[in-house]
Structure formats: C-alpha cells, structure tokens
Chains A and B, each alone.
Chain A
Amino acid sequence: MIIKLDTSLVLPKFRLFQSHLTLIGLMLFYLIQGCDQSIEVDPPKTELVSTTVFEDDRTAKAVMDGVYSRMVGGLGYASGFANSITVKNGLASDELVANGAPDPFYNNNVVPSNSELERYFWEEPYQYIYTVNSILEGLDFSTGVSASLREQLQGEALFIRAFCYFYLVNDFGDVPLHLGSDYEANAKASRSSVNEVYTQIISDLSAAETLLGIDFGVSSGERIRPSSWAAKALLARVYLYTEQWDLAEVKATQLIEHSTLFEVLPNANQVFLKNSSEAIWQLMPVRPNFNTMEGYRFIATRAPVSSETVSETLLNSFESGDLRYANWIGSVSNSSGIWYFPYKYKIRLSSSLAEYSMVLRLAEQYLIRAEARTRLNKLSGALEDLNTIRNRSGLSDSGAEGSEEILQAIYKERQVELFAEWGHRWYDLKRTGLVDQVLSSVKSQWRYTAKLYPIPIKEVDRNPNISQNEGY
C-alpha cells in the first residue's frame, strides 16, 4: 500500500490526538488522585460509633436504657414470657406445669444444644454484661458525661453485671467471669468458680450501693431503675445464698426499716401494680398494647390451656384461708377439666399501663431476714418476720417451734409467696439441698445432674478452655 503523506491533513489529526491525550491524562490523574479520599464513607446514619456514644449524657444514658428495654421487651431472659427465667425455672422446679409441646425444662432434660437455653439463659445475659462492661470502660475515658450521671450509670452498670452473674452462677455453676469488653481475652477465658463469681457480685453490688441514688428521683419517682435499695436487696439475697446470715440480716433490715419508701401492702391485689410501695425494682413494659408479659403469658382465657399452669404440688401447699390462693391463682375449665394459672398480674393485654414487671420486692426481704435470723438463732425475730407475710395474706401466726420447724415454715412460705416469680422455688430447692428429695418424688425423670443446666454447645464448641457440666 502506498501512503501519500499530506502534512496538511496529518497535522490537525496529530493535534487532535494530542488534545485527546491531554484530556485522557487529566482524567486518569483526577481519578487516581481522587481515589484515596472518595472511598471514605460517613458512619451510618442509623447507628452511632462507640467513641461518640459516651461523650454525651443522652446517648450514654440511652445505652443503659437499651439494657432495660431489651430485658423487658426481648421475650427471653427477664421478660416474664415463655422463655424467661420466671417460666423456665418455674417449670424446672415443682411449681409450674407445661401443657403444650413437650418441654425439656419441665422434663429436666435440657441438652447442650437447646436453643432457648443458649439464646435466653446464656447469650442474652452475656450481651448485657458486654454492654455494661462497655459502659464502664466508656465512662472511664469519657469527658463529656456529667459527674452525677456518671455515678448513676456506673452504679446501674455494676448492678446489672451483678444481677446477670447471679442468675448465671445459679443456673450453670462455674461460669466465665468477664469484667471487660476485650473479646479476644473473653473468648479464651475459662470458667471461674462459684465462689469467685459471688465475690465479684458482692463487690459490684457494694460499689453500686454507694454510687446509686437513695430515692427514685432519676426516674421521676417511678421504681423502674435500680437504686441503692435494689443493690441492698440483691446483696441481702446473695448473702443468704452464700450463707452469710448476719450480713443478710443487716441488708434486709436496712430495707425493711426504710418505711418511707417501702411497706408490705395489706391487699395482695395491689402488690404488682406499677410503683407499688412493695416494689424495690420493677421493669416497665415497653411493647405497645401489652402490660407485663407474665400477665400475657399466664392468664388463660379458655380451656384447654396450652401455656404454663400451676402444679398440684403448689396448689396443695396453700393453707386453707390463704388469700393468696384466692387472689393470685386463677382458673378456667371446660367439660374435661380445670386449669389453674398464676394470676399475680391481672392484665393480659391493655393499651394503658397499670402493672409493671416485678423484679425485687419487700416481701422477699422479710423472708430473707426471717431465714437469716433463724440461722442466727434469733427465733422470735424470725417468727415476727414470717408472720408479717402470713398475716398480710389472712393467715394466723405460724405455729412452728424450734429452728428446724421455723426453717421449714419459711421455705413453705417462700413457695406460696414467691411462686411464678424469677424462679425462686427452683433456686430455693437447690440452695437448701432439698432438690433431689423433693423433685424425685414428683418427677419420674429427675437426675441429680439436672440441678445445673449444661453449658450451651456454642460456648463449649468455640472455646476449648470451657468444660462441660457433669452429666452432659
């Protein structure tokens, strides 16, 4: 091919080529230069980054509010609903009966892969523990949170940590004790002994007791945030469980004597109302159209009933004339039978809030002090406390004599006073050593190893330093 060079034609073409090259060069330059910065993104608008959360009173408090909101609104652990400590541990003991599909808690046959156990008894409390540990660490570095709120939040965080470990140690025995949010260390931690966990609980509660307020001012008079009194109440229970009788008596006494805030109500039907003067700490229901989930779960509207009902053992434990039987037990029936259900909460569903979910209340403190006094051989004081609770329910003074009889009377009183609340019966049976004797007579499947639940499989599987409980 012969090409005739015609400079007049080639030159404009060359110039064009040059100008294009310049443009392309510029374009690539812009792109590469812009590259580094233009993939920066702002944090998501629907989430907050931790460093900003603890620089502001409102957001810092919102993290603590988030814990309460999830506890009561989450349908698990502390909710009072089907998978809560109240229901599941009630089933595991001898006070509630499962009516729907077979329930492994009721049958004392919970396996390590049980998803309710994993989700609601293990993961959920540890999520709160992570949250409160983050709060404690965040407040340590924060400069933006006011001093009074800082104390309040530190106190609440320590209280919630102790609260969660209390149930963990009672449900599982030795548990990993995480006091910081470093997941790498926590992921390799082994189980701490029951004693170590209790030591931590007591130390957290004692700190919370001084940090927290002595009234309900921070929540506008509503008893829905833990106060110094909640810390004392839980401390009294912990001293009872760890058999430090004198300390248990001291703490319970502080509450009982603080009559400006707390009193045992004469009418059993008023106990579970919101901010009742028996309440030391209540959780405020958060789901629209609901009051407490206990009320929603337990109150049966027609027979046959598929939710949990009261066992015969419990029904038979009420003395005749006990107003609690009349006031706190409900029933439905049809041609094939009658079903009794816990009726402490009266509202199943309602859009106006009248009842809050009770966590800690004064009646328990009387029974704690009665038991501690019996152990300390202050028998008349013990009977006085026991009778306060009995008389309120229309029963005459207890006829028990001698420390052993009084002790038995107190256990029985706890059974009928605290049923369907936070698994009290289950923990009482275990801490008093009566569990094998009592449960083997009513539950054919009972094994002594069922006292502790298995460590969930995802924990054992993912942390080689975690051992399993006996029998699983």
Chain B
Amino acid sequence: MKNIDKTIYRNSLFLVFYLLTVPSHATTLSPLIFHANSLPSVAVQQSEVHGTITDTQGLPLAGVAISVKGTQKGTVSDFNGFYTIKVDANETLVFSFIGFKTHEIAVQGRNELNLVLETDITALSTVEINAGYYTVNDRERTGNISRITAKEIETQPVANPLSALQGRMPGVYIQQRSGVPGGGFIVRIRGQNSITKGNDPLYIVDGVPFISSTLASLGTEIVSNANPLSSINPSDIESVEVLKDADATAIYGSRGANGVVLITTKRGKVGKTEVSFDFQSGVGSVANRMDLLNTSQYLEMRQEAFINDGVTPTATNAPDLLVWNQQRYTDWQDTLIGGTSYISDAQVKVSGGSEHTQFLAGASAYKETTVIPGDFDYKRFSFNSAMNHRSENDRFTAAVNIMYAMEDSGLPNVDLTYSALTLPPNTPELLDDNGDLVFFRDITNPLIYTKRQYEAQNTNFIANAQFAYQIFDGLKLGTSIGYNNMHRDEIAIRPSSSRNPASTSPQSSDFADTKVSSWIMEPQLEYQKTWGDLSLKTLVGATIQQNNQSSKTLSGSGYSNDALMEDLAAAASVTVLRSSQSEYKYQAVYGRLNLGFKERYYVNLTGRRDGSSRFGPENRFANFGAVGLAWIVSEEPIFEAKRVFSYGKVRASYGTTGNDQIGDYGYLDTYSPTSYAYQGVSGLYPTRLYNSDFGWERNKKFETAMDLGFFRDRLMLSLVYYNNRSDNQLIGLPLPLSTGFSNIQSNLNATVENSGWEFNLETININTEHFTWKSSLNLSIPKTKLVRYPDLETSVHANRYRVGQSLFVVPAFHSTGVNPDTGIYGFEDVDMDGAISIPNDYQFLQDIRPEFYGGFLNSIRYKRLTLDCLLQFNKELGLNYLNMFFYAPGNISNQSAEVLDRWQEPGDVAAFQKFTQGFNQARTAYTNTNFADNFYQDIFYIRIKNVNLSYSIPTERLPFTSARLYIQGQNLFTITDYKGLDPEGGVRSLPPLRVISLGLQCSF
C-alpha cells in the first residue's frame, strides 16, 4: 500500500508545485503576452474612456462589468458607478450586470460614455448558471438545471437550506420529516432510482462533496433522517443549483444518478466596504391539534372494552378506571408539544473590494428553542469568509472560501409526539410535589425523556481554493482544492432520576464521537474558441478524492451522582459499544465538449471515467457519458419579428450516470470486535458477507423539453418529459434471517423506471415603475415502475414487488370493513384457506408514491413594499392517522375521536371494530390492519408554505445605505383531508412548525 500512497503524494506534490510556479510564470512573462494581445493594430489611436453608470432611478450602479468586445480587456464600475478604461477609438464596449439588460456601445472616438441600465426582468440571456465544472448561459443550456438564489432564500425563516428549496423546483421532492430543530429531510430528485438504498443526491458545497447522511450515532430517534446541511447558514448561500438530467449530471459519473445539488456561497462584491446586519426573531408552534377522546369518551371506551372482552377491570389492569381521578382531563398535546419555540437569528456581513480583489466576511448566530417542556434548544454559530483576486493583467484568478459552523443541540432523547397523542386524558400529574417523576406501571411517563438528554455538538469546516491561469486567449488552466472536516460529539444520558426504580436499567450515559474528513483536488483545463458562426467550449479535468471516517461509541455506568454523568472519567466502568473506521478513495477524469452554431444549434457532450474503492477489485472502474442537444427555434430567421413568440428552445439529452452510495468495504467479509470481552478476551463476530464482484449501478437518463417565451419573455413556459431507467441495482438485498444476516450488498439484475412530466410557468403579470407582480407555478407528475426483475417469484422480493407496477406498491390485506355480526375487522381471504396470513392473502393495491406535487409563487412589489407568497401542494397515498396509535382502541392509550364510530352490537355498521383491551381475535384483527389497506389514505394538501412581506425603509435621513423591515411566515396554513397532525411530517414525529418571524436588515 505504501507505493500507492506515494503515487498520490507524488501527484499532489506535482500539482501543488505546478500551481505555485504558474503565478510566477505569469508575472515574469505576462508583459510580453499582454503586449502581444494589445497590439492588434498600430493604425488606431488609443484613448481613455470614462463615465458613470446608473439605474433607471438614477442611483449609481457599482460592479457593472465593462469589457472591450472581442478582447480580454475589462474593468468594473466603482461604488459611485464610475469607470475608466483604455480603448481604441474603433472598439465597442459591452456593459453587463446581472439583472440588467446588457448594452453594447461603439466608442467612436468619444471620451465620456454615461449609461442608464434598464432592469432586465427576465434576464434569461444574462443568467449564468453553475453547472459544477463549468457555467452555462441559461439561454443556451442543453441540460436541466433548476436554481434558486439568495433572493428567494432570504424570504424564508428556515434553519436548513433544504427547506428553502421546498415547492420551488419541479422534479425536486423535499419532505421535512420532523419539526424538531436539526430534524430530518427526505430529498428525492426525480423519484427513487434504487430499490432499497442510496437515493440521496450528491451535494457539493463550493466544489467540495458534502456527506448526505447524518453523523449521529446516538439520538437517532429524535433527529432521524437528519441532514448535515443544517450546518450551513442559509443566508451564506448565493445560489443553489439542482442538476437533474443526463446532460447535466453525467459529468459527475458514478455519483450523479440521483441528481446533484450545487451550493455556492456568497462572494465579495466590488465597491465601497459595506457592512450589513440582519436581525430576526420569531416564534414557532405546532399548527394543528388532533381531535382526541376526552376523559368521559375515553373512560367509556375502556369500560366498553372490558365488557366486550368479558374481563373485570382491576387496579392492576385498569388503573385509569379504578385508581385515577375520573374527572381529570388533560389534552397532552398542549402539555407535551403545545409550547412555543423561540427563534432568533443575527447576522453580520462585511464585503467590498477593488476591481481586482474582493472580500467578504460574515458571522451569524442562530438559536431555536423547542415546543416541548424543558430547557431544550438548538444553536448554530457560523463564520464565512471569501476572497477573490484577479491579477492586473486579468490572467490569473484566485478564490478562497472558508466556512466554519458549530451546531450545538440539546434535545430530549425521544420525540414526545407519540406520548402526546396516546397518554390517557385522565393520567395523573407527571411530576410529584417535589418535582420528581411519577412512575406508572402500564404507561411510560413521557417526561422521563426530558430528563434523558441528548446533547450533540457538530462542527463543520469547509475550505476551498480555486486558482486559474489563462495560458493564452481561450485556454485556461485551473484547479480546485477542497477540504471538509466534520466532527460530531454526542452525549446521551439516562440519569437515575429518570429511571423507574422497579424496572429500567441503571443510570448510564453514552458518548459518541464521529469524524469525517475528506479532501478533493480537481485540476482542469478549459479551452474556448469562436470561428465565425461556430463556437467551441471544451474542458478536461481530473478528480482525486479521499474520505476518512471514524466513529467511537462508549458507554459509562456506575456514576456516584447524576450531575457527573457528562464526564466519562466519573464512570465506574466504561464499555466500548462500537468503534469503526473506514477509508474511501475515488479518482476520475472528466471532460466536456460543447459546440454551438449560429447561436441556435448546440451540442453538448460530457463524460467521466471513474473508479471507487467501494467496489470489488474486479469492478472498480466505469465510464459514463451523455449527449445534450438544443435548438433555439426563435433564432431562426422566420421568427425575426418576435412579436408574440419571443423565445423558443427545444432540447433533448440522453446519457448514463451511476450510483455508489453504499458503505465502504462492501465486498469484504469482515469480523468486528464484540462489545464485551469473554473471560477477558475480546470476541469477534461476523459483520458482513463476502461478495467480490459487485459493481456500479447504472442509470440511463433521457429527457426532452421545450422552453417557450411569449410577449418579450413575460410569459415563460417550460415543459419537460423525462424517462430514467436504472439497472444493475446496487442494493442491500434482503435475506431471510436464517442466513444469519438481514441483507447483503449485491447487484440485482432488475430495472426500475422513473418517468414523469414537469411544468414550469413564469409570468410577469404587471410591470410598471411602482408596481410589479410576478407569478410562477411548477408542477411535477412522477411515475415509477419496476420494469424487469428476472425470477422475481422465487426471490426475496417475491412478496414485495410486482413487475409492471410501481416500486412503491405496498402489499397489504384488503379490508372488507367491520363484520356487522362479530364486530371485528374482516379481510379478503385470497387463498380461501379460512385464515388471514402473510403473504398468501396480500394484494398489491396501495401505491404510496407522490402522485403530483408543486408550488405556486407570487411576488408583488408596490413602491417600497414587497410581498412574496408560496403555496405548496402535494398529493400522495400515505399512512393515515390510525398508524399513529400502536394499541387497539380499548387499551390504556388515548385514541382519535374518530374511533367513537365503532361496532357495539350485532347489526351495527361501523367504521371501527369493537373496543378490546386483551389478546383475542379482535386484537389479532387490529394487528392485521397494520398490514392492510385501511391504514392508508389519499393525502392531499395545499399549504401556505411561506409568506414574506418586506418594506424597504427610505434611508435619506438615516445613516444607512439601505434598510429593510420584514415579516415572514412559514407553514402558515394548510388545507388537507388528512386527519393526523400534519400531512407532511413523519407519522409519529413532531410536525414541521408554523413559524412567524420579524426582522430588520440594514447596511451602511
């Protein structure tokens, strides 16, 4: 192995050396080169042109790029909108600025050129979109890339950047699983490609691949599906681009199958140093309450259950009927999840710079408390800095970005939502007069979880440096070097005050420490050239990446005092519960070739060859590639007039990408140490089965799309059809448990198809000087199908999937409702054997994929007031509220008020079976409903996801250059037929909170 490391070091040293020497080449040789370029003709006189650039309201515009057409020369306007540039009298100046129309003005010997730039409301041709290894003009792009910018993010009071994307992009399904701060998200770009695992997109933050799954080893119950992106401050983000089709993702090769999310952080801007502050504070709460049984209804249910079962209630089996106060009533939703969460957020940013060097530095502090009783909160401190430099001769550029964030969360070990719904309404006080916990025999006091704290500290450091040097006109050599280090330190304590003296385990605390570090180096060579109507853009590059992950979990017990439980040294004995370490190496070469003809026909070829240490020695390398085509129809001469039809593009792409989202070392059969030694000797146990020849999962993506613009692009419509097929499925193949393992990493010769339609409509309804109104609507209709699965009938998935049906089809019994004679749920007995059994009586009826989803956004500006409102909608078949309740109605557990519609005597036609508290036929039938279609329902919801109203304060008399006062709301109002707490969150977890916040942003 030594040689191999040497190879890497040799390569890296070589690159570093090369990069270090490049700038010196530049300084020593550049005068020559500069001369060579700037001496096109001796016949023309050189002069200096200067002027001021303003917007339509007469305010100076800083940072406008002024370039001399056809050359590399250029400058940028300063803070007063002023610029000077040396030009030849017959040259043409190009003025461009994001969000404004680009102007070209021939100098014609003039010395002063003042200019008013008009806002370009659609700005299609000026928007440069980040495609990862290159940028692409929105007008010319051949692939499918959605984007949101800082402007959209800042209107939302969110802690995780992922929630800022919700409802705003077609084809991007984001579900917030929990309203607990730091809680989880599910992100699916164009559906689920892999049958069982690895469906997360590839996240890249400023060029550095970012892990997609949480490092949490403890507390996974309270922060399930947590996403590490929470450590990135949303307001540090300049833009988020989501790459979806083959054309955009093939250059990411083996990691692009599930789409790519590119996050670019803010950079400094040219101009006078600007300091800006942003203060925000808000309140959050659970928006909805479930309608549960009150005390008299609950007691009636219990009594009826005992009568139905013919059992006499005793103090042991029915303390709620015989011991507890019969009048007492508590809605535990109010007590346990009904609190108010306070959110405060403060940010400061300094940015500025000269034409050649710009900087930005920012810091922020965010704190969010919870809605559960007790002193819990989540805090985040983040620092972000960026420096950009361009050499005097414009040939050398450097950009450095450093980000550091610390998250600190103190939460209970377990989500209290389930207890809030099921604790009997007449349960006595949970704390006694001394403030100690009261323990019950049959029910768990939910406040024990508030004593069992889970504390986690997460630090995240990302650094990235990009250097580029223009060797000659059109040829650029660059490299990007990135490093990411994430560290999570966790403590979960179970103090003696939280333990039931009668049964639970002794006081103990667990300590976990998980680290991931990764570095990446990507040298790249770019060449651009235009010959008449033909333009060429090409690049080749390489990636070397290495990740190291290690994790340790220790458990301490035997503390003399609860107060010492966060100190491992105070434990009488310490056990190592888990210890793991892994290494991942990855290398690739990639390239792109883009040809444009007459600015209307485009061909884009991209490809990648990559190798990953995650696969068996036989299957480490694979090639991926894509072709994208675009035809800008509106540029054809017959559409010259462009009255109504102002823009039209047809594009298509086809290609392959891969998926390597499996753990490391999947091909080895390994033994790990056991937690405890036997007679002083540490034991070993098998942890993995051997499979040397598993390889890449391949995903073939096809897309065709049409982008249309009407009325000078005031109405933009885009229509997309895609069809992705992934085969050679890389899965944890479930195994019968008798094999000793529950699954094995393996390639499965099955094909999954994801297809669908995506619509996006953007309109500018009104656009006057004082009043603008813009709308956008997006809609996604995804479909997924298992196309092929040889020998499915004899496979482990025989009872799970059907060829030709959706991947989300859930096998379930078909309920025939409550039998009016017996009062017990009946199910269709498919095999007619007289018993309801798995799998023989399963039917494939329930398809739980999202049917459609989307968002409708309106932005209105009237003078200084701006209003943005996002409606989000979603329809899918999902688990209904019955699933929240584990016990059959009649047991010592509260229920939805719906259960009152139950069977009571023969002949009754009711929605719910008779109440029962014991183990009997009714109980078995209730258990069967866990596997039956009565647990599913169509869930449709429309919600006011986000509203932002902001007022830009006149600053003439204030010491500010700009000031803005705003009020924002998240998850404000929901229309749904779902009867549980929230149609979006997980079934038994805290729903996403309704948040209203008020903020002030000012800069000077």
Residues of A within 8 A of B676 (CB): 69, 73, 286-287
Complex-state Cα separation, A45 to B552, whole angstroms: 13
Q: Are A107 and B736 in contact (CB under 8 A)?
A: no
* CB closest chain-B residue, reference A26: B14
Cβ-defined partner of B471 (8 Å) among A17, A59, A287:
A17
A209-225 interface code vs B (CB 8 A; 1 in, 0 out): 00000000001101010
Residues of A within 8 A of B18 (CB): 23, 27
Question: Does chain B have a CB within 8 A of A30?
Answer: yes
Question: Does chain A have a CB within 8 A of B689?
Answer: yes
Q: Are A50 and B669 in contact (CB under 8 A)?
A: yes
Q: Which of B717-771 contact A (CB under 8 A)?
A: 734-742, 744
Residues of A within 8 A of B542 (CB): 28, 31-32
Residues of B within 8 A of A48 (CB): 670-672, 684
Q: Are A12 and B32 in contact (CB under 8 A)?
A: yes
A56-99 interface code vs B (CB 8 A; 1 in, 0 out): 00010111111111101100000000000000000000000001
Q: Are A47 and B503 in contact (CB under 8 A)?
A: no
- Determine the interface band of chain A, counting residues with CB < 8 A from chain B: 35 or more
Cβ of B674 to closest chain A Cβ, rounded Å? 5
Complex-state Cα separation, A3 to B37, whole angstroms: 10
Q: Which of B502, B573, B575 has the most CB of A within 10 A?
A: B502
Q: A41-B613, A462-B734 are in contact. Are A63 and B679 (CB under 8 A)?
A: no
Cβ of A323 to closest chain B Cβ, rounded Å? 28
- Which of B116-124, B300-308, B919-927, B968-976 is found at the contact surface with chain A? B919-927
Q: Which of B456-472 contact A (CB under 8 A)?
A: 471-472
Residues of A within 8 A of B918 (CB): 102, 107, 445
Residues of A within 8 A of B316 (CB): 99, 304
Complex-state Cα separation, A463 to B793, whole angstroms: 10
* CB closest chain-B residue, reference A175: B738
- Which of A120-128, A233-241, A389-397 is found at the contact surface with chain B? A120-128
Q: Are A1 and B40 in contact (CB under 8 A)?
A: yes
Cβ-defined partner of A70 (8 Å) among B665, B683, B794:
B683
Complex-state Cα separation, A61 to B793, whole angstroms: 41
Residues of B within 8 A of A17 (CB): 471-472
Q: Are A43 and B670 in contact (CB under 8 A)?
A: yes
Complex-state Cα separation, A61 to B573, whole angstroms: 26
Q: Are B42 and A4 in contact (CB under 8 A)?
A: yes
Q: Which of A162-205 contact B (CB under 8 A)?
A: 175-176, 178, 181, 183, 186-189
Q: Are B612 and A39 in contact (CB under 8 A)?
A: yes
Complex-state Cα separation, A264 to B584, whole angstroms: 59
Cβ of B861 to closest chain A Cβ, rounded Å? 45
Q: Are B573 and A289 in contact (CB under 8 A)?
A: yes
- Which of B4-12, B186-194, B822-830 is found at the contact surface with chain A? B4-12
Question: Does chain B have a CB within 8 A of A149?
Answer: no
Q: Which of A16-30 contact B (CB under 8 A)?
A: 16-17, 20, 23-24, 26-28, 30
Question: Does chain A have a CB within 8 A of B638?
Answer: no
Cβ of B1003 to closest chain A Cβ, rounded Å? 43
- Which of A416-424, A430-438, A464-472 is found at the contact surface with chain B? A464-472
Q: Are A288 and B558 in contact (CB under 8 A)?
A: yes
Q: Are A307 and B502 in contact (CB under 8 A)?
A: yes
Q: Which of A112, A176, A307, A464 has the most CB of B within 10 A?
A: A464
Cβ-defined partner of A2 (8 Å) among B35, B41, B585:
B41
Cβ of B12 to closest chain A Cβ, rounded Å? 10
Cβ of B22 to closest chain A Cβ, rounded Å? 9
Q: A2-B41, A187-B736 are in contact. Are A50 and B686 (CB under 8 A)?
A: yes
- Which of A129-137, A245-253, A376-384 is found at the contact surface with chain B? A129-137
Complex-state Cα separation, A64 to B685, whole angstroms: 8
Residues of A within 8 A of B891 (CB): 102
Question: Does chain A have a CB within 8 A of B544?
Answer: yes
Q: Are B503 and A63 in contact (CB under 8 A)?
A: no
B495-526 interface code vs A (CB 8 A; 1 in, 0 out): 00000111100100000000000000001010
Q: Are A123 and B742 in contact (CB under 8 A)?
A: yes
Complex-state Cα separation, A101 to B39, whole angstroms: 90
Cβ-defined partner of B583 (8 Å) among A42, A219, A349, A460:
A42
* CB closest chain-B residue, reference A464: B798
* CB closest chain-A residue, reference B32: A12
Cβ of B734 to closest chain A Cβ, rounded Å? 5
B914-954 interface code vs A (CB 8 A; 1 in, 0 out): 00001110011001001100000000000000000000000
Question: Does chain B have a CB within 8 A of A104?
Answer: yes
A100-120 interface code vs B (CB 8 A; 1 in, 0 out): 111010011101110000100
Complex-state Cα separation, A460 to B923, whole angstroms: 22
Cβ of A173 to closest chain B Cβ, rounded Å? 14
Residues of B within 8 A of A319 (CB): none
Q: A46-B581, A131-B740 are in contact. Are A4 and B41 (CB under 8 A)?
A: yes
Q: Are A306 and B502 in contact (CB under 8 A)?
A: yes
Q: Which of B525, B574, B686, B690 has the most CB of A within 10 A?
A: B686
Cβ of A23 to closest chain B Cβ, rounded Å? 6
Q: Which of A268-300 contact B (CB under 8 A)?
A: 284, 286-289, 300
Cβ of B680 to closest chain A Cβ, rounded Å? 9
Complex-state Cα separation, A49 to B684, whole angstroms: 11
Complex-state Cα separation, A13 to B26, whole angstroms: 12
Question: Does chain A have a CB within 8 A of B662?
Answer: no
Residues of B within 8 A of A62 (CB): 681-684
Cβ of A285 to closest chain B Cβ, rounded Å? 9
Question: Does chain A have a CB within 8 A of B1?
Answer: yes
Complex-state Cα separation, A373 to B603, whole angstroms: 91
* CB closest chain-B residue, reference A12: B32
Q: A24-B525, A34-B11, A472-B837 are in contact. Are A445 and B919 (CB under 8 A)?
A: yes
Question: Does chain A have a CB within 8 A of B580?
Answer: yes
Question: Does chain A have a CB within 8 A of B958?
Answer: no
Question: Does chain B have a CB within 8 A of A301?
Answer: yes
Q: Are A10 and B686 in contact (CB under 8 A)?
A: no
Residues of B within 8 A of A257 (CB): none
Q: A12-B32, A39-B613, A66-B683 are in contact. Are A27 and B523 (CB under 8 A)?
A: yes
* CB closest chain-B residue, reference A63: B684
Cβ of A60 to closest chain B Cβ, rounded Å? 9
Residues of B within 8 A of A32 (CB): 542, 589
Question: Does chain A have a CB within 8 A of B43?
Answer: yes
Cβ-defined partner of B4 (8 Å) among A40, A349, A463:
A40
Q: Are B738 and A126 in contact (CB under 8 A)?
A: yes
Q: Are B669 and A41 in contact (CB under 8 A)?
A: no
Cβ of B208 to closest chain A Cβ, rounded Å? 19
Cβ-defined partner of B678 (8 Å) among A69, A186, A305:
A69
Complex-state Cα separation, A465 to B931, whole angstroms: 22
- Which of A364-372, A399-407, A451-459 is found at the contact surface with chain B? A451-459
Question: Does chain B have a CB within 8 A of A316?
Answer: no
Q: Are A65 and B679 in contact (CB under 8 A)?
A: yes
* CB closest chain-A residue, reference B542: A31
Complex-state Cα separation, A47 to B927, whole angstroms: 40
Q: Which of B627-674 contact A (CB under 8 A)?
A: 664-665, 668-674
Residues of B within 8 A of A131 (CB): 685-686, 740
Question: Does chain A have a CB within 8 A of B587?
Answer: yes
Residues of A within 8 A of B150 (CB): none
Residues of A within 8 A of B574 (CB): 288
Cβ-defined partner of A37 (8 Å) among B3, B573, B582, B795:
B3
Residues of B within 8 A of A10 (CB): 36
* CB closest chain-B residue, reference A28: B542
Residues of A within 8 A of B36 (CB): 6, 9-10, 13
Q: Can you give 20 A-B contacts (C-beta < 8 A)?
A: A13-B32, A27-B523, A39-B587, A41-B584, A42-B1, A63-B683, A64-B683, A65-B684, A99-B316, A113-B931, A287-B676, A304-B316, A351-B558, A445-B918, A458-B737, A462-B734, A462-B737, A464-B794, A464-B798, A472-B835
Q: A42-B1, A63-B671 provided; 11 other pairs, C-beta below 8 A? A: A34-B8, A41-B613, A43-B668, A44-B583, A47-B580, A109-B923, A122-B737, A187-B735, A304-B441, A458-B734, A461-B799
Q: Which 8 A-B pairs have the closest CB atoms?
A: A130-B740, A66-B683, A288-B573, A286-B676, A107-B919, A65-B683, A47-B670, A462-B796
